[in-house]
Structure 1
């Protein structure tokens, strides 16, 4: 840890407090999460006994909770537990049960709960209490969009000069394997994230938001620049990020949204959720066979080329090993400390780890069993499905609903990525909490739904500012 990296993390708490002092509360929440995720240094943490490590995520969560306590204490009392919160609650408490069933002790279980709550539970909770209406969803969508605009020139710089910005600003590289930043005949940007895959997901989300807000009529210009130009610029940047998965996610996201626009149905979104649920069920029960894997690999080779297909095959092979071990403790898993991984003796007679855990789903299954796996993906799937029932696809093109609709699509595409990678992003967890909060609000009247279907008019900027100031 260099002095400048330590300094930035130390001053982040007063920066967040200042944001709450001078900005509307929900805007301060969105700004804090997005700025921290996009710009705070990697690999910096302070260890406090009995507390979660103080890194860029926990620093943001601590800071926002403290700011809420100081400036907006009544916000806590607005939270009312609902049925959609059950998956996240289970995901946060099941590490304790996993520790106890593996005889790891009470201290280990409590520590695991605190870590999980700080990483997932607090972002979800803050989304629930701050961004739980259409204006809150609009604020978050705009935050992702602006974050993408700010990141775009940085991505272009690194695509030419190689991933150097983290080293230039903080004095060391934030990535573990520089070789993974060379893709498709050039450099894959990392900027201030831990991997180029994370950057790919972020720029995909920013581009998807830009396209949908432009098409819905919510944004025609931004910074006095026509949205068509901005979308074109983000598209070029998205290509330069060189993430094959993000390309495919973007394509399918557009299919979902424009099917809603032209055919007035949400079938592609529901189909993706159903397919992911079925895949996870097969994987967690050991019924994902070699023939099924070969079919997917063949499709991947036709779409993305032999290199990407070989990478996918490598992941499937290791997931087969990990699932086989996970089935030995299928309910609550093996707990922490790498107990979910597969070990074998090497040529020298040494016991070594022979498994590779690339995807969140197989990690969740191995560590916390089928209970944890169901909970973490349920915290994304259930709010999205509930949103589809509450706000049919016929309303998604309405400027008031469009930001929420595109965020729902992004969270499901993020879940798809979590079936292949483990690129955690708290902003998407914040979005899932916001979606759950929106759906748990009193149901809109039939008259309101009909109005949303027909109306293409945005509320005036004055009324939007008045509503936001109340937050």
Structure 2
């Protein structure tokens, strides 16, 4: 059960977010309110208030950040993107809950003692509210991270945050995942799943060890991107940071996350921005086509299980368990392929004798398919992949070559999205990167954003006392800046 500190942190974060927006430039406040909230607030805890949607570490920074931007700054944050494809995807995302309700008004009789209720309009509104938090993060990213300097600030913030976050991670590798229990009074997941290869995998304040491994691999790859963009004096530091994070990633004991880094690190070091964009686009095609490929049973699941068995029998059994559950859940989802089954465990598989749920959902794609069908899957994953597919066209319209910064960021985003096939490692950081990239590409179509190239030298600081100094970079007069 959460302790008083957990409740204090959740309830005080709106105030923390307000202070950030009052004391920082807007784009810095957007980045750090969302990033710090996700990394520091308790996981698996939802604050239910009468008449309001459940508030958690995912929704509080976005919801209150949106309110502060609108009410205090008078800034209109648009939900609809500029591209026609983006508008269609947003409309699909907003309408999919109500289409699911319209096609699931019937109750499901599991046995004589268990009946799953039909969906009502209230359920559609509840499903929509659950999507608003991520959509607001995406919209804030589009509005405030619309140039190359802002995108660089975002990925630099993630790298800096992760270098600091690696310290409690290393503590948990040595001492076992105890920080969430010690600080917030409860463990956010199954402790047995944090035990691997005779040791422990860290989790700190995130949902699972897989999440922390995924973000570690993304941060290591982003270090290389920043190293290629930096000058000769700084590039070595970024490469050393990347090597350090790879060592931390090995200690996270996640084969998939480590494999992404080993396969893509050479490309991130040597390939041009255009080639990196092509790799990201290829990965995006794989992501969007995966449900069709799995439905047609084209994926060589047996061969993949055999390859995993060469690493360890435990990995092979885990992968076979995932594929078996995917097959069963996908067959169930295909009974209502257009809009899915909705909530109340309707998308799960139940034992007809006991009425208990016997299926386990790991991949976000199969969760989306069962919950909201092809409409929901295409809306969510299409919106996440949209900047990857718009990257080449936006640069071609501007008459420029794709930069390493944007090509590398697109690959890192694609890596995160690829991992949503076996896992559900989506986070506010995923939506923030997607929104920031999309906003940048929209600006690129209208002209050349400033600050895309190598970092510009900081202006000379004025003489006299400096009441505030940034944690990174030159000190300056004015609001405190983390970057």
Q: Which residue does 1:414 correspond to in 2? A: 416
Q: What secondary structure does 2:77 align onto?
A: helix
- What's the TM-score, normalizing by structure 1? 0.87
- What's the TM-score, normalizing by structure 2? 0.85
Q: Choose 188-197 or 96-105, whichever is displaced more.
A: 96-105
- Per the TM alignment, residue 407 of structure 1 is displaced from its structure 2 partner at its CA by 2.5
- Per the TM alignment, residue 75 of structure 1 is displaced from its structure 2 partner at its CA by 4.1
For residue 434 of structure 2, the aligned residue among 409, 432, 454 is 432
Q: Which residue does 1:388 correspond to in 2? A: 392
- Per the TM alignment, residue 116 of structure 1 is displaced from its structure 2 partner at its CA by 1.4
Q: Does 1:461 align with 2:445?
A: no
Matches within 5 A, 1:87-106: 87-103=89-105, 104-106=119-121
Which blocks of at least 5 consecutive residues in structure 2 are unaligned?
Answer: 106-118, 461-472
Q: Does 1:288 align with 2:297?
A: yes
Q: Which residue does 1:217 correspond to in 2? A: 230
For residue 201 of structure 2, the aligned residue among 170, 176, 188 is 188
Distance 2:231 2:431 in 1: 24
Aligned residues of 1:50 and 1:111 also touching (Cα < 8 A): no
Classify 1:457/1:419 alpha carbon distance in 2 versus 1 (closer, same or farther; 3 Å): closer
Distance 2:278 2:415 in 1: 15
Aligned residues of 1:52 and 1:58 also touching (Cα < 8 A): no
Classify 1:271/1:170 alpha carbon distance in 2 versus 1 (closer, same or farther; 3 Å): same
Aligned length: 449
Classify 1:251/1:195 alpha carbon distance in 2 versus 1 (closer, same or farther; 3 Å): same
Classify 1:265/1:431 alpha carbon distance in 2 versus 1 (closer, same or farther; 3 Å): closer
Distance 2:453 2:82 in 1: 33
Q: Which protein is richer in helix relative to its size?
A: 1
Q: What secondary structure does 2:445 align onto?
A: coil
Distance 2:253 2:276 in 1: 31
Q: Which residue does 1:233 correspond to in 2? A: 244
Aligned residues of 2:276 and 2:404 also touching (Cα < 8 A): no
Q: Does 1:140 align with 2:154?
A: yes
Matches within 5 A, 1:58-457: 58-76=59-77, 81-83=82-84, 84-103=86-105, 104-118=119-133, 120-174=134-188, 176-217=189-230, 220-221=233-234, 226-258=237-269, 260-261=271-272, 264=275, 266-283=277-294, 286-288=295-297, 292-302=300-310, 304-345=311-352, 349-391=353-395, 395=401, 401-443=403-445, 457=454
Tell me the alpha carbon deviations over residues 106-152 of structure 1, each in whole angstroms, 9 at most, x when there is no partner.
1111121111112x211111111111221221121111111111111
- Per the TM alignment, residue 259 of structure 1 is displaced from its structure 2 partner at its CA by 5.4
Classify 1:112/1:50 alpha carbon distance in 2 versus 1 (closer, same or farther; 3 Å): farther
Aligned residues of 1:141 and 1:404 also touching (Cα < 8 A): no
CA RMSD of aligned residues (A): 3.0
Which blocks of at least 5 consecutive residues in structure 1 are unaligned?
Answer: none
Q: Choose 19-28 or 205-214, whichever is displaced more.
A: 205-214
- Per the TM alignment, residue 271 of structure 1 is displaced from its structure 2 partner at its CA by 2.5
Aligned residues of 2:17 and 2:33 also touching (Cα < 8 A): yes
Distance 1:259 1:96 in 2: 47
Tell me the alpha carbon deviations over residues 226-267 of structure 1, each in whole angstroms, 9 at most, x when there is no partner.
334323322221211111111012223324424533995644
Classify 1:263/1:62 alpha carbon distance in 2 versus 1 (closer, same or farther; 3 Å): closer
Q: Which residue does 1:27 correspond to in 2? A: 28
